[in-house]
Amino acid sequence: MGTGDVIRFLTRTRGRGRLHWSDWLTYAYLILSLLVVVLPIMWMFLSSVKSPAALVENDPRILPYTQLTVPSPTGGRDQNVFVHTRTDGSTVDVAFVGPRGVNARVYELGKPDTVFEVPRTSLARKEVVDPRWENYTEPTLGSTQSRTFNFLRYFWNSTFVTVMATLLTLIVNAMAGFALSKYKFRGRDAMALTIVATLLIPPTVILVPLFMTVSSLGMLNSLWGVIIPTIATPTGVFLLRQYMLTIPDELLEAARMDAASEWKIFWRIILPLALPALSVLAILSVMWRWNDFMWPLIVLTQSEVFTLQLGLSTFKGELNDNMHYLLAMTVLTLLPVTLVFVFLQKHITSGIANTGLK
């Protein structure tokens, strides 16, 4: 496809022929905001495979450059490779042996016996693009270098909390939604209203009593202390109740004729039919629990029970030069929600747009 085709493709409008000036403004806005949204995330992805040296220097280049090194002929540390520009303008690759005054002692690659001196200003680093995947593998595969950040443990804790809390959220809220939509009993509407009213209690302002309750139940520093208080969400009850109201009562009556128990009706008829609403709640719950920060911060104080978010923030707060691990682990932390988003994007955006809840 030639450039002409590309331009024609991009400027094609639906039936209007030429682009109006406001269309240009629209696309300018879109592209500018695309940069603001995407560039920061891209920059972290790109930075996460850079070498520790490049990160300490804050190398602003996009690709992960590292300086070439060669093994020392005498068996010491690896030697850095530079490009030496001779006075006549020709260049040669040299290995750096050591400094001497303003000069550097170097030898031509392949000829380690003839060490000579050149001015340091004539040397430029010989660099290659070399993504450093060790940033990812070392903390995850248990290298000794990252004792402060036990990624696998945090990952497991986060996964456990997310999966358990989501399963319990679905079951507990579906049961309540079922009771509030398919039974008639005294105080039903008052109860539904009370549950929705808890949306008005900001969880942040009951931190202290919630902490004391969880503490008196012996759930501090236990993952269950993070899971249990979050499983009854007014959002979930509301969402499921509204959905279940649309399921015709005749289905339930027919099942009761066949002597199905109430539980069986719930499990075999209501749950499968409420699957669309359940999946919206499941996605929301996964997002909430995986990203949760404040509540785990209060309940979990020992690093063995940290979730990923806690581990990351602690690791970030420590004054250390482990930026290369921090960035790589941040990428791994956002990966699950990103995958969920990529595959379920339509469900998420339409689900949230329809319910107006996050």
Position 343 contacts another protein (CB under 8 A): no
d(C-alpha 261, C-alpha 162), whole Å? 31
Question: Quick check: 24 binds another protein (CB under 8 A)?
Answer: no
Asked if 324 contacts 58 with a C-beta cutoff of 8 angstroms, the reply is no
Residue 95 found at the interface with another protein (CB under 8 A):
no
Nearest residue to 72 via CA among 98, 47, 100, 93: 98
Cβ nearer to another protein, comparing 180 with 239: 180
Q: Which residue's CB is nearer to another protein, number 143 or number 350?
A: 350
By the 8 A CB rule, do 301 and 214 touch? no
Of residues 40, 76, 98, 110, which one binds another protein by CB under 8 A?
Answer: 40
228 binds another protein (CB under 8 A): yes
Strand 69-70 relative to strand 123-125: parallel, antiparallel, unpaired? unpaired
Q: Are 120 and 103 in contact (CB under 8 A)?
A: yes
By beta-carbon proximity to another protein, the closer residue of 79 and 173 is: 173
Closest separation between CB of residue 166 and another protein, Å? 15
- Taking CB under 8 A as the binding criterion, the range among 88-96, 123-131, 231-239, 273-281 that sits at the site for another protein is 231-239
- Contact call for residue 213 and another protein (CB under 8 A): yes
Residue 85 phi/psi, 5-degree rounding, is -95, 115
Out of 102, 263, 302, 319, the residue judged to bind another protein by CB under 8 A = 263
287 lies in the site for another protein, by CB under 8 A = yes
Work out whether 30 is an interface residue with another protein (CB under 8 A).
Answer: yes
Residues 102-161 binding another protein (CB under 8 A) are none
Which position among 190, 200, 257, 319 is part of the footprint of another protein (CB under 8 A)?
200
Alpha carbon separation from 81 to 51, 102, 122 (Å, rounded): 16, 18, 13
Shortest distance in whole angstroms from residue 29 CB to another protein = 6
The correct pick among 19, 232, 255, 273 for binding another protein (CB under 8 A) is: 232
